[in-house]
Structures are given as structure tokens and as C-alpha cells.
Structure 1
């Protein structure tokens, strides 16, 4: 907790993480270098490669399987563009739009998106399904999906799998090697500045997907691929890289260093212990999640928390709270006290 800025009352890691002190120092140092004309693309490139390696360690894959970018939707769009005409994609009802919209945008080619209840995701996979896409942790509810049955169902029919780890990596232990493709924006639980994202690829994905966003940074020799017309792309996942948002990377690497040094199981245990403690205090069922939500159709509970100096969020008609490394039992008490004063609040979980 001491590595972060003061996060007392901040329960919105699912919206945006807080910086570590190391992240702030790195970003300030970068501004100083820029001010004195001392920053260079080569130095930023070295940070990108360090960030690639750190992320690979966090999600359990070889760095050669990691591509870098700035937005998950753009990475998902690469997958969507590679689907054959008429392909069927299965997604859960209400999953995050950045995961769903890139496939809906392929409707002109006959690509069909079938949305099913999250609990029925594995059962909905059928012969003819080309891809199953879902978030490891649902943004609106914090529900964690057991990937095993979905992966097994996809393997049975030869479908690719795409899992969004944005609400998982940094708090929940994850193994990206289990999926054909993963996408992760690092500004939430990984606590990086916005503008740094990652994707990972299996052998099957590397063989079947095309780097439709290929630019100079996807070249086998980055500084040798600045001009056309010849194109020689990297042999590994780096061929899916896009040009990095340079000034986000010093802070991102500092954040990733911090997360990579932690035990993800301990981080998850810390977060879920606090959500369960809140449930016990409010008299609601335990969720065992890092994100917990309560019905709040009129936003009264969210407004009450804001008035009490507590940062939270509202999604899909529910109050959304997220506990991360900077939170402690004092935050549980503050939330419980504020919610207890809201007329009509019913903590059904």
C-alpha cells in the first residue's frame, strides 16, 4: 500500500487505477527530459521492450507472444477483420462494448454476433462457431468466468478464443497462454497511465490472423521499416505492434515493475477479503470478487458515497465498488457508514 499515492476512499480501480510513487517519478523525469530535449525514440523503444517482458511475466507467456498497442478495441478489431465472411461470434450478454463492437462492425460481411447469458457461454458454442469472446471479469458486475468449460467447448468445434483481461490482470491470477488471443488495457488494475495496452497470441492465432494495422513499429527491424514499398514484418507477435504512445511508457513500465514483483494470489485474496468484509457488514451475500455491485437505479447510493469523499462508479443501474492494493478495512467502514444512511438502500448483493 505504501507504494501508491494515498488511495483512502478510492474504490474505482475498475474505472482507472492509481499511480505508484515510482510511476509518478518516472513520468516527471520524462517530462524533465522532454523539456531539455533529452528524450529519444530509442530510449522509449527500450521501455516498450521492458514493458513487453514485464507484461509477459505477469500473464504467464513468452515475450515473443506479446504485442503492444494503445487500445483494446483496436486489438480486437484485428481479430474481427480476420474472420471469414459469414463467421459466427459468440459473446456474453452485456459484455464491454470494446470487446463486442469490433465484431458487430463486420456485419456487412455477414459476420454474426450471437449474445448469450454469461452462465450459458460454454453451452452456446456449437459447430460453425468461429470465435468465442468474453471478459475474464465482467466490467459491469465483477463476475469471474471459469474459462475451462468455454475453452473445452471451443476446442471441440475448432473455434478460436479471445479473452479480455483488462479487469483481471493486476489483481486476479491469469494465464494468458490458455487463450488464442488476449487483450489488456493497463490503466485499470495494472495502474499504468492510459495509452498502453497489450495482446497475446497462440500459435494458431499467429498463423490465422493478419496484422492489418501494420506500420513501421511492426517491422522486423523497427528503424529499417520506416519507408516503403517493401514490407518485412517481425516473425513473432511484434508484427501486431502499433507505434507506441511514447510518453505513457515510462510510467507504465514503473507500474508493471511493481505488479510483476507482487504475488497475484495475494493481491486477489486482499481484494476479495475486503469485498467479503463489506458484504458481512451490510448483511448481503459474499461475492468473493474484487468488484462488488449493488442495485442503485436512481444513483442515490453513488451520490451518497461521493458526498462522503468516496470514489466509486455506477454501471448498468448498479453501484460498483472495487477494492485494490491501496484499500483497507477503513474503506469498508466508510462505505458501510455512507450506504447505511441512504434511504431505501437494500444491500442484496
Structure 2
């Protein structure tokens, strides 16, 4: 069973905030800490973990390994695009977007760079009408899991010559994502990819490499990493590795194992497991299916969240609603927990599976 790869976590419905590590990842991290404490840790060995994770991520995202850069945070990676924009450039984004996507562009306001936002469903049409330099959006929205019409946005951007920046953080890990569709993608791995916080990925199409700033360049961005640790003038890597940020080593020990587990489960299983559980819950609540693992319920006063937490369910409040996210460690018992908690809150029974 899928859930056997994870330690039991009954009622944990919060993958959109923080993914849980598979057993294999947790065990590797414990061993890595022991090695560190015992003086057995090795920088070169950590580097091998990073490169293994890079290759695994490339497979999950359907891109060549040379398109993948490693770092720690999505916002730092988006900032590589924002810093490279010409003065006065227009960026088009989405209303209510996660701040890591929009904040780096707002930080360039002193140069006249501006970011305008539109409703998610209007994004492709707005690209055609406004002709921005960049269109930046999340494939799946953080607040409610809604999916962008990514193909329409990409086609509109191609027609007007806009650079596409897609944040796949809330999608990759449950949704099979082909990152070749966009010029740049960013992904924080600590949510649906179940990796430690401090591991993140950037993908860049080769023709877009020179359109990014590279302003975080350090020794890890060198063409030869270990020949780039001292002095001036070292050559940067020719591919997306030139945007690498020196990795938080222990995070990558866990990231590699988490990506190994996810890769081994297969794309269709990753998509169906959480989505089927979420749609099963929707059915029992009298709601239509949505074929995604995230659902939200109205909760303006926080009472629904309190009822769920009181019943042992881990969820969060977002934008006046409760957000529930089913991932690979969840099972039908978690659906029952939610149904029972909501029935008690409403004072009437709900349908059982």
C-alpha cells in the first residue's frame, strides 16, 4: 500500500502547507545527523546527494537535467527573473497569488517594474490584451488548489513574446507536470514533494538562460564547483546550474529519498490517490467532483476548523475557508474523520461510504 511508505499520521490533511517525509527520507536524515555528529560527514558526499536529487527532479518534471537548478526558496528563484527585467517592465499575475510569486517583482518597483493582477480565469485573455514582459502564476493556487489553464496561458505568452514563470509548488508531487511548457518554473519541495524545507528547484529553458540575472552567483554556480571556491573570474556553468545556490546539505539528504519514493509510485498513482479521496469526501458532502486533492469549505468564523482540529484532523484556514489536502499517506479513514467532525459540527449525520 502507498501509505506503508509513510509513518502513520492519522488525520493529517495539510500537504499544501507541509508535506510529510516518507520513512526512507526520515531514516536517511537520522543517519545523516549521526554522521555529522560523529565527524563522518563529507561535503563531496553531500554534493552527490544534491546531484541525485537534481536528476530525480528532472525526471518528475520531464526536463533534461541541465535545465534544473537547485536552491532553497521559490522567492529567491523568482527574484532571478525579476532582477533581470528592464526598467518599467510590466508583469502580469493572479489575484490572491502566493506572495513568493509576486513579491520579487514588487521589490523592483523602484525601477518602474510593475505587477498587475487579474482573476485566475482571465489570465490568458489578459496576457493577449496587456502584452506583458512576464506572466507569473502558480499552476495550482495555494489558497484553494484551483488549477490555471496553463496551456492557454503559455500559448498567449508565446504570441506576445512574454516570458512565462510558473510556480509548480502546489502541483508537482500529485500532478504530472511537464515543465517544458514554460520558460521558467520554480518549486519548493517541502510540500507535495515531501522533502525537507530548504530544498527547492528552478527549471529554465536553454533559450531563457541569458534572460535571468544570476545575481545570487556563488561557488556552487561554477562550471567546476570545486574550482570555483576562491578568487575572481571563475566561469559560470553554461546551463541552469549557473543559478544554483549553495545547498543546505542535510535538506538534500532527505529530498533525494523523498523523490525516490515519489518516482517509484508512478504519475497516475500520485494523481489518483489524493484526488480520489478528496472527491470521495466531496461526494459525501453533496459537492461535485473536482479531480484534485485539495478542497476548501466556507469557514468565516473558524468554527469548522476548530471542529476538525477537535476531531484530530490537521487542516488550516486560508482566505476565509478551511483547506484540506489529501496526499499519499492519507486513506479512507481520514475521509471518515472529516465527515464525522462535520456531522458533529452541523448536528446531523452525513452519508457514510
TM over 0.5: yes
For 1:37-63, what per-residue CA distance to the aligned partner results, in whole angstroms no more than 9, with x for missing partners? Answer: 000110000111001000000110000
User: Where does residue 129 of structure 1 map in the other structure?
Assistant: 132
Query: Could you say which residue in structure 1 is the equivalent of 2:285?
Result: 282
The residue number in structure 2 matching 1:152 is 155
Which position in structure 1 is the counterpart of 2:77? Answer: 75
Structure 1 runs (4+) greater than 3 angstroms displaced = none
1:105-126: CA deviations, max 9, x gaps? 1111111111000000000013
2:7 corresponds to 1:5: yes
Instruction: Report the CA distance between 1:264 and its aligned residue.
Output: 1.7
Residue in 2 that maps onto 1:215: 218
1-side partners of 2:74 and 2:296: how far apart? 24
Does 1:26 pair with 2:31? no
1:291 aligned to 290, 294, 312, which one? 294
1:335 maps to 338
Q: For each residue in 1:10-66, what CA deviation from the matched residue of structure 2 results, as whole angstroms up to 9, or x when unmatched?
A: 100011011111011100110111111000110000111001000000110000000
Partner Cα distance (1:26, 1:191) in 2: 14
Give the alignment of 1:1-349 within 5 angstroms: 1-125=3-127, 126=129, 128-343=131-346
Asked if the contact 1:3/1:21 (under 8 Å) is kept, the reply is yes
* Separation in structure 1 between the aligned mates of residue 249 and residue 206 of structure 2, nearest angstrom: 29
Q: d(CA) in 1 for partners of 2:210 and 2:265?
A: 33
CA separation in 1, counterparts of 2:11 and 2:275?
17
Tell me if the contact between 2:80 and 2:214 (Cα under 8 Å) persists in the aligned partners: yes
Question: How far apart in 2 are the matches of 1:183 and 1:110?
Answer: 24
* SS class of match (2:52): helix
2:173/2:192 contact within 8 Å kept: yes
Aligned length: 346
Secondary structure, in 3 states, of the residue corresponding to 1:261? helix
Contact preservation (8 Å) 1:169, 1:189: yes
TM-score of the pair, normalised by structure 1: 0.97
Offset of 1:204 from its aligned partner?
2.5
For 1:209 and 1:101, the matched residues in 2 are separated by 17
- For the 8 Å contact 2:69–2:242, the answer to whether it is kept is yes
Displacement of 1:340 after TM fit? Answer: 1.6
* Maintained 8 Å contact 1:127/1:157: no
The 8 Å contact of residues 262 and 270 in structure 2, kept in 1 or not, is answered as no
Q: TM-score of the superposition, structure 2-length normalised?
A: 0.96
CA distance in 2, matches of 1:100, 1:208: 18
Distance 1:259 1:288 in 2: 19
The secondary structure found in structure 1 opposite 2:70 is strand
Distance (whole Å) between structure 2 residues aligned to residue 285 and residue 127 of structure 1:
34
Distance, in Å, in 2 between the alignment partners of 1:61 and 1:31 is: 32
* Post-superposition CA distance 1:81-105 (Å, at most 9, x none): 0111111111010010000110111
